[in-house]
Chains A and B, each alone.
Chain A
Amino acid sequence: MSTFIQILLRSLESGSVYALAALGIIIIYRTSNITNFSQGVVGMFNTYVVTYLFMKTGAPLWLCILGGVVSAILVGLTIDFLVIRHTKKVAPVAKQIITLGLIMVVMGIAPILFGVDPLNLPRLINDGNLTLLEANISYNGLFNIVFGLVLMFVLFYVLQNTKVGLAVRTTASNEYTARLMGVPTKTVTLGAWAVAGVLGVLSGVMIAPTTSVTLNLMDVVQINALIACVLGGFQTFYGPIIGAYLIGVSRNLLIYYVSSVWGGQILYILILIFLIFRPYGLIGKKTVKKV
């Protein structure tokens, strides 16, 4: 029982990392109609910024993370301002490939700025363990879980209950009509890229202490977040988050109880089979096609 809870807590930690990344992807998908393959890489870049600040200035980590958040906002704004804003007439498939171009740009710039050596980023809360029903979890892990949930709660509150959220939701449901109704859709999209950047850097900072900060830091996160979006469905904001936690939990359970080697693959195969029966994900609805 204690191992089960232990696995569950660990999974919630990795699940919240996936969930933050997936939320970034879905926010951009809903407002710009782009599947953002560069979410992970942009997060990686800003995690590098955090690590670099931490190593060079010796400032406390939380201050460096704030610096990373600022740089994430700037990067997000730049991407939208320079590129995405001008792609209204581009075909949907080509739009996705633009984010692939962004991956290449960031991957090329990052080693020039930060060098090629792997860097290390410590945990935000360095030591201390909480014992919960005989299961251990570090304070840092607990903080990640709670922080992820709180952040998502705040975002959903903003989305559902404020004027800004209403603007985002109208843009998401139909951009053209939203613009007719006086919603500043350009600003909404701009903001979406900034928020996605922040979510990216936060997921990066959460995952970085478990490995080292390299160019491939976010590869696994990116792929799992994309699959979480498919599992949860692209039509709602909360579907991908449910998908992300589901992937986090079931992945670790499969790895522990079924096979440490094949657990990950089995999970993907199960998701594929699930998709055949529910092609639009857990929450998704079938969009009616008109001929």
Chain B
Amino acid sequence: MKKVNLKTPSFNLKTLSKNPYLQFILFGLVLSTLPILASQFSFIKSAYITTIGVTLIYAIAALGLNLLLGWSGLISLGTAGFMGLASYISAYLTVDMGLPFEVAILAAILVPTFIGVLVGLVSLKIEGLYLAIATLAVSEILRKTFEEFEAFTGAFSGKAASFPVLFNSIQLDRATMYYFIVFVLIIIMLITYNLVNGQMGRALNAMRGSEAAAQAMGVNLLKYRLVAFALATIFASVSGVLYVHFIRYSYPSSWTLKLSLDFLAMIVIGGVRSIYGTVLGAFIVFAVPDLFLKQIPYFSQLSYTLNGILIILVIMFYPNGIVMIFRDIKNVFLKLFKKGNGNHVS
């Protein structure tokens, strides 16, 4: 890094643009311009805002799963279950009990997180594959409960919710709800960035590498596993709450194994242990088939298949995720540039 700085004349704007926090905020601003673009240009239909909003919501849950899978090396197939549970709790509290949105979101985070921490406790005993399928069982229990517990979830006919009212005074609609989602996503990205670059990130990295070595270095396995599971569940819950207040409906059929597998796909395609990669992965898995592939006549039916093929190809030939493509392209350009420079001098 230092070498590069010495060679290139550094000026203030450049160092400023390297600041990760500013980058996140910039990213958020770019995302927030999408609805405005939608109203200006005809090629972005306003219905796309719903799709992009849901994509960003999924990205939040996927970031939580990335903390588990990427940084801690623990596999969970229960994300969809927790997300669904949070969505039902929030819908029930705001609609049936008439509680304010802030109370609902708090309850909708606390209850799933409690279950998530329990799973974290179990994860001390069960490992790898067994843990993955144990979390799958948890998710199935939750999904069956959504189907059967009609008074609370409305069973197969689903549970309705409305756009949230913030602080008892600001009524959100679809457009403002989208900005709210972007805001929450950026906050979550900042939190994730701080966590994984701090002491916790180092502890999780050590745990992933070798549990025994991590323990020997004084990393408390119980503490960090519980924290990792708690954070993953909190992120999933937040995304569940946003989902139910954005789509305004929650069905048991939304929270199946398929969604949990989609989250895995987002992380792997986008880039394991990469924050932007996770968001990129969410776009590739969810938004691209919906927004672009469906427009091309013959591809509309094949979009799901193409997505599957993309997952397989990325894993086989590009295991670090598509997010690395930007860096690789940049490196290629830098090389070309350097060569050109060198020729010039000689």
Q: A and B bound?
A: yes
Contact residues of A between 277 and 291, Cβ < 8 Å to B: 279-281, 289, 291
Contact residues of B between 244 and 261, Cβ < 8 Å to A: 256-258, 261
Known A-B contacts A101-B311, A289-B212; A230 and B301 likewise in contact (beta carbons under 8 Å): no
Pick the contact of B265: A101, A234, A272 (CB < 8 A): A101
Neighbouring A residues of B148 by C-beta, 8 Å: 261-262
Q: How far, in whole Å, are A229 and B130 apart by their CA atoms in the complex?
A: 9
Neighbouring B residues of A86 by C-beta, 8 Å: 316
| B138 contacts chain A at the CB level, 8 A cutoff | yes
Neighbouring A residues of B136 by C-beta, 8 Å: 223, 226-227
Neighbouring B residues of A226 by C-beta, 8 Å: 133, 136
Asked if A83 and B312 make an inter-chain contact with CB atoms under 8 angstroms apart, the answer reads yes
Asked if B127 and A279 make an inter-chain contact with CB atoms under 8 angstroms apart, the answer reads yes
Q: How far, in whole Å, are A106 and B134 apart by their CA atoms in the complex?
A: 26
| A109 contacts chain B at the CB level, 8 A cutoff | yes
Neighbouring A residues of B261 by C-beta, 8 Å: 37, 97, 100, 103
Asked if A279 and B130 make an inter-chain contact with CB atoms under 8 angstroms apart, the answer reads yes
| A14 contacts chain B at the CB level, 8 A cutoff | no
| B50 contacts chain A at the CB level, 8 A cutoff | no
Asked if B125 and A87 make an inter-chain contact with CB atoms under 8 angstroms apart, the answer reads no
Asked if B213 and A265 make an inter-chain contact with CB atoms under 8 angstroms apart, the answer reads no
Q: How far, in whole Å, are A272 and B131 apart by their CA atoms in the complex?
A: 10
Against A, the Cβ 8 Å flags (1 = close, 0 = not) of B118-135 are: 000010011111101110
Asked if B312 and A93 make an inter-chain contact with CB atoms under 8 angstroms apart, the answer reads no
Asked if B132 and A104 make an inter-chain contact with CB atoms under 8 angstroms apart, the answer reads no
- A-contacting 9-mer, from B40-48, B139-147, B229-237: B139-147
Question: How many residue pairs, one in A and one in B, have C-beta atoms under 8 Å apart?
Answer: 129
Asked if B316 and A108 make an inter-chain contact with CB atoms under 8 angstroms apart, the answer reads no
Q: How far, in whole Å, are A234 and B138 apart by their CA atoms in the complex?
A: 19
Asked if B145 and A265 make an inter-chain contact with CB atoms under 8 angstroms apart, the answer reads yes
| B304 contacts chain A at the CB level, 8 A cutoff | yes
Asked if B122 and A275 make an inter-chain contact with CB atoms under 8 angstroms apart, the answer reads yes
| B341 contacts chain A at the CB level, 8 A cutoff | no
Residue from the set A86, A105, A107 with the largest chain B CB neighbour count within 10 Å: A105
Neighbouring B residues of A271 by C-beta, 8 Å: 137
* A interface residues, how many (CB within 8 angstroms): 48
Neighbouring B residues of A105 by C-beta, 8 Å: 304-305, 308-309, 312
Neighbouring B residues of A87 by C-beta, 8 Å: 315-316
Against A, the Cβ 8 Å flags (1 = close, 0 = not) of B275-310 are: 000000000000000000000000001111111111
| B264 contacts chain A at the CB level, 8 A cutoff | yes
20 new A-B contacts, CB < 8 A, other than A108-B303, A108-B307, are A83-B316, A90-B315, A91-B319, A94-B315, A94-B319, A100-B311, A101-B265, A101-B310, A104-B304, A105-B308, A108-B304, A108-B306, A108-B308, A219-B257, A230-B133, A272-B134, A272-B138, A275-B130, A276-B122, A279-B125
Tell me the A residues contacting B by CB distance below 8 Å.
Answer: 35, 37, 83, 86-87, 90-98, 100-109, 111-112, 219, 223, 226-227, 229-230, 234, 261-262, 264-265, 268-269, 271-272, 275-276, 279-281, 289, 291
Per CB-CB distance, the 3 closest pairs between chain A and chain B, nearest first, are A104-B308, A108-B305, A101-B311
23 A-B pairs, CB-CB below 8 angstroms? A35-B133, A87-B315, A90-B319, A98-B311, A100-B265, A101-B310, A101-B311, A101-B312, A101-B315, A102-B308, A103-B261, A103-B308, A104-B265, A105-B308, A109-B305, A226-B136, A230-B129, A234-B130, A268-B137, A272-B122, A272-B138, A279-B130, A280-B130
